[in-house]
Structure 1
Amino acid sequence: MGPVSMAWVGATASATTPMADPPKYAGDAQLLVACIVGILAVVVLITVVKLHPFLSLMLGSAVLGAIATMPPGAIVTSFTNGFGSTTGSVGLLIALGAMIGKMLEDSGGASKIVSTMVGSVGRGGLPWIMALIAAILGLPLFFEVGVVLLVPVVILVASRTGLSLMKVGIPALAGLSVLHGLVPPHPGPLTAIGLLKADLGRTLIFGIIIAIPTVIIAGPLLAQLVDRWVPRHPDFATLVTAGAGGRDGLGGRAGTGTEDTETTEGSEGSEGSEQRLRDLEDEPVEPGRRGIRFGTAIIAITLPVLLMLADAITKIVVSNQNAASRQVFDLLGTPTVALLIAVLFCYFFLGLGSGMSRERASNTLGASLPAVAGIILIVSAGGGFKQTLVDAGVGNVIRDWATGVQFSALLLGWLVAVLIRLGTGSATVATITAAGIVGPLGSTLSTNHLALLVLAVGCGSLFFSHVNDAGFWLVKEYFGLSVWETIKSWSVMETVISVVGFGFVLIASVFF
């Protein structure tokens, strides 16, 4: 069967062995109503009632189960089973990833990567190098942490070179956002992989392949256009308030980029600005501490991804499952093992290697956990919501409908994620909920297209961030923009990422 037809549910349903479906508690129409009302309940509780997503997903599961006429005990069992299995498969990975990011931040490894890479290029290459830095830092860091680390650098670089905030900032935000939505070990892609039972190695390879052109288009190229809509240059107030919002709480001005900017560009010249970029490498080191080498910091970030990629490549090259090389990389490429190895590397080479005491290095790792506790609970609650959907029989109703109308599984996954993203504002909630809804379609797809379905859902989860998304306000305050300016820059960038990324997913489905 050709690769194109494999992306369509109806084309493969007849060739797939039917799976045992859970008992239905109601008719198809009632189950679909239960699904819609359950999702709406989650959206309303998050956006209107302002209830925490963890509790909203729990209550949404209860609403869904009640309308589907599930017995109360069955609703509780379904939710707790889904919650527990998701915690075991994803929660551990989130915790290990947070440890890597925290050690990278506190040891100075992240600053070393930024200063070295920024200091090695001229003004013309800055948008591209900022996208690359963000993509590299985006591998282990959560989006919010990456923004906190990068935005002060973006403002400083723009100030020293005379480039606008958008030309430097949009590429950095694009790199962080694309990696967050498409590439494991971030919570969204990892959860979708677990819920859809996709192959992690293939998803990782496809994710990186699709992420590269998506970052280029939504980053340095789009930045040229966004700069015309939001022409902003940093001024003194922006530099002082970086990390605490704009000049006022309603989107204070970051500078219009007229007289001051023209003076900066004209008086300093390219040689002066490039010298200032090189000066970024000479950052002070805390007394009693040693600076981190650039290569060490890069290894710390990329080690888990390299191990998982090596495992994926070994599976493709070595067909014998009992071969020694296959078994070794099967172990090392397991996400939990790969991240654990990376954490140990960070402890010894970033923590102790930078002059931290063993107690301080251990405390740094421990300090990363409280910040991700909420994320783990939300992701796990999403797994519980998904399991309630499955056990109520909603997933199979959607699968049967999609099979009958020859609806693209990839398009369905993207659209469902888009709708939930627009409603809840959370990329993670959109990913895990959409993956749960389209999960039953996975049995009709090839291994490659199952991995692409994960990426389609991830792309949909990034669509048009607006006022119900915490990331929207984070970007607005850091750059000192108004709401409308944030929509014309950040929201447009997120939409471009979603649409362009999904376009590349569809292209990949034709060839793989």
Structure 2
Amino acid sequence: MIIVSFGVAIALGIPLGDIVKTIETGLGGTLGHLALVFGLGAMLGKLIADSGGAQRIAMTLVNKFGEKNIQWAVIVASFIIGIALFFEVGLVLLIPIIFAISRELKVSILYLGIPMTAALSVTHGFLPPHPGPTVIAGEFGANIGEVLLYGFIIAVPTVILAGPIFTKIAKKLVPESFNKTGSIASLGEQKTFKLEETPGFGISVFTALLPVILMSIATILTLLQKTVGFEDNSVLATIRFIGDAGTSMTLSLLFAIYSMGIARNIPIKTVMDSCTTAISHIGMMLLIIGGGGAFKQVLIDGGVGDYVAELFNGTSLSPILLAWIIAAILRIALGSATVAPLTTAGLVTPMLGTSDVNLALVVLATGAGSLIASHVNDAGFWMFKEYFGLSMKETFATWTLLESIISIAGLGFVLLLSMFV
């Protein structure tokens, strides 16, 4: 990303003396907004995973829903865990649980795997504190709480479409793939817990959802204030402060250190080791995102964003649709659901100044576009293929199609929501 940024900057005619400054501005501006939320989110998720909280959430829901509704149990568990954990981490954590349930109930691993990955992918694309929506909210200047609130409204029907409904279609498209046994040998030895050793279901769910709860309360109150028009006061200012992404993630992490660690007599050194491991695992991801931010800034400073804005000047095409199209093209070309929306921001931002479109919806449309048609240049494609033991054809007919359904359905629901907000 950095090498490409230098090359494109030279090609666009940015003065040589300004190129490094442009790259530093893009890298620093992007990571400055993201690093706190992203880093704290990684630590929060790791604490929930290492304490056994994620396993407790999954197994409790499986037991409650029963064998008949097992897919819905998997969806709800994956959705809750997916909010707290990043996509790859959630996948690695949940797949052994999915395999265990599959053996016990004698059902296809893919029958459970499709709804699981649908829920994880939707949370990754639409909901903060995941990197895509968090970064884009910052770039567009959108309220992150609104992104979260509207993201939830869009995520629920999208998961239903891409999960249980798509599973039935996939069964007809590639029936033989539902007989595959898959392999998780590459994951190595997994940390497993006896259920009585794990924290309670209620506290595990509350810890995972606490940042969502805090941000949502602040956003709902702000929206009510705008609608009803009641005066600002110190109480509302305090709630807004607590509901800010950085504050809510900090408070949630402190609560997780207590609920997943201290309250269970886990030594603070062990808790801190989990936090350290979480940060070391996202180091490369932060650099990739920073590289994407640098490339975005080169596009803006080089005039590409203004050129695209001029190109679509006077067009009746909605910024929501345009953001989705650009993100989708970049996703197919680049393979990364994190870099694609970042680059989209550099091209779409100049257009937003002349539009009264809801910025949170543009963020969600960009996130939806960045998920489309995952194929051979995306790590998720190969992870899905190998874990579920599928052929290339079967992976295209399941994973690639699943991601495309999420992308198109997400856009549809964003456009529908745009009629009301």
* Counterpart residue number, 1:27: none
Q: Which amino acid aligns with 1:200?
A: I
- What are the within-5 Å matches in structure 2 for residues 108-257 of structure 1? 108-228=52-172, 229-232=174-177, 238=182, 241-244=183-186
Contact 1:158 1:233 in 2 (8 A): no
Percent of paired sites with the same residue:
37
SS in 2 for 1:69: coil
Contact 1:134 1:172 in 2 (8 A): yes
1:233 deviates by 5.3
* Counterpart residue number, 2:329: 419
| Aligned counterparts of 1:243 and 1:312: Cα–Cα separation in 2 | 44
1:354 deviates by 2.8
Describe the superposition over 1:422-449 as per-residue Cα deviations: whole angstroms up to 9, x where unpaired. Answer: 1111100111111221111221233x62
* Counterpart residue number, 2:397: 488
Contact 2:65 2:72 in 1 (8 A): no
- Report the CA distance shift for 1:226/1:402 in structure 2 as closer, same or farther (over 3 A): same
* Counterpart residue number, 2:47: 103
1:510 deviates by 2.0
- What are the within-5 Å matches in structure 2 for residues 352-371 of structure 1? 352-371=262-281
* Counterpart residue number, 1:299: 206
1:311 deviates by 0.7
- What are the within-5 Å matches in structure 2 for residues 10-159 of structure 1? 57-159=1-103
Contact 2:38 2:130 in 1 (8 A): yes
- Report the CA distance shift for 1:87/1:343 in structure 2 as closer, same or farther (over 3 A): same
CA RMSD in angstroms, aligned pairs only? 1.9
Contact 2:171 2:178 in 1 (8 A): no
1:69 deviates by 1.1
Contact 2:44 2:84 in 1 (8 A): yes
| Aligned counterparts of 1:284 and 1:124: Cα–Cα separation in 2 | 24
| Aligned counterparts of 2:334 and 2:325: Cα–Cα separation in 1 | 14
Contact 2:26 2:295 in 1 (8 A): yes
* Counterpart residue number, 2:287: 377
Describe the superposition over 1:406-431 as per-residue Cα deviations: whole angstroms up to 9, x where unpaired. Answer: 33211211111111111111100111
| Aligned counterparts of 1:140 and 1:172: Cα–Cα separation in 2 | 15
Any unmatched runs of 5+ in structure 1? 1-56, 246-281
Q: Mean Cα displacement is larger for which, 361-370 or 57-66?
A: 57-66
Describe the superposition over 1:75-123 as per-residue Cα deviations: whole angstroms up to 9, x where unpaired. Answer: 1111101111111110121110100111011111111101111111222
Among residues 357, 366, 382, which one is paired with 1:473 in the alignment?
382
Contact 1:420 1:430 in 2 (8 A): yes
SS in 1 for 2:316: coil
Describe the superposition over 1:190-220 as per-residue Cα deviations: whole angstroms up to 9, x where unpaired. Answer: 1111111112122111111000000000001
Contact 1:164 1:227 in 2 (8 A): no
Q: Which amino acid aligns with 1:454?
A: V
| Aligned counterparts of 2:304 and 2:372: Cα–Cα separation in 1 | 25
1:243 deviates by 4.6
Describe the superposition over 1:454-489 as per-residue Cα deviations: whole angstroms up to 9, x where unpaired. Answer: 111101100011111101111111111111111111
- Report the CA distance shift for 1:98/1:147 in structure 2 as closer, same or farther (over 3 A): same
Among residues 239, 244, 250, which one is paired with 1:334 in the alignment?
244
- What are the within-5 Å matches in structure 2 for residues 265-414 of structure 1? 284=194, 290-318=197-225, 319=229, 322-414=232-324
| Aligned counterparts of 1:96 and 1:201: Cα–Cα separation in 2 | 17
Contact 1:166 1:227 in 2 (8 A): no
Contact 1:230 1:488 in 2 (8 A): no
1:363 deviates by 1.3
Any unmatched runs of 5+ in structure 2? none
User: Which structure: larger Rg?
Assistant: 1
SS in 1 for 2:317: coil
1:459 aligns with 2:368: yes
Describe the superposition over 1:99-154 as per-residue Cα deviations: whole angstroms up to 9, x where unpaired. Answer: 01110111111111011111112222111111111111110111001111111111
- Report the CA distance shift for 1:385/1:129 in structure 2 as closer, same or farther (over 3 A): same
1:231 deviates by 3.8
* Counterpart residue number, 1:429: 339
Q: Which amino acid aligns with 1:210?
A: I
| Aligned counterparts of 2:257 and 2:265: Cα–Cα separation in 1 | 11
| Aligned counterparts of 1:193 and 1:180: Cα–Cα separation in 2 | 14
Q: Mean Cα displacement is larger for which, 402-411 or 333-342?
A: 402-411
1:405 deviates by 2.9
Contact 1:402 1:409 in 2 (8 A): no
Q: TM-score, normalised by structure 1?
A: 0.78
1:283 deviates by 5.2
- Report the CA distance shift for 1:326/1:292 in structure 2 as closer, same or farther (over 3 A): same
- Report the CA distance shift for 1:226/1:233 in structure 2 as closer, same or farther (over 3 A): closer
Q: Which amino acid aligns with 2:401?
A: V
| Aligned counterparts of 2:195 and 2:64: Cα–Cα separation in 1 | 20
Q: Which amino acid aligns with 2:215?
A: M
1:162 deviates by 2.5
Q: Mean Cα displacement is larger for which, 313-322 or 132-141?
A: 313-322
Contact 1:102 1:364 in 2 (8 A): yes
* Counterpart residue number, 1:259: none
SS in 2 for 1:119: helix
Q: Which amino acid aligns with 1:360?
A: T
- Report the CA distance shift for 1:64/1:321 in structure 2 as closer, same or farther (over 3 A): farther
Q: Which amino acid aligns with 1:124?
A: K
Contact 2:79 2:119 in 1 (8 A): yes
1:393 deviates by 1.8
Q: Which amino acid aligns with 2:145?
A: G
Contact 2:300 2:346 in 1 (8 A): yes
| Aligned counterparts of 1:210 and 1:84: Cα–Cα separation in 2 | 31
| Aligned counterparts of 1:345 and 1:477: Cα–Cα separation in 2 | 37
Q: Which amino acid aligns with 1:462?
A: L
Contact 1:226 1:488 in 2 (8 A): yes
Size of the aligned set, in residue pairs, is 414
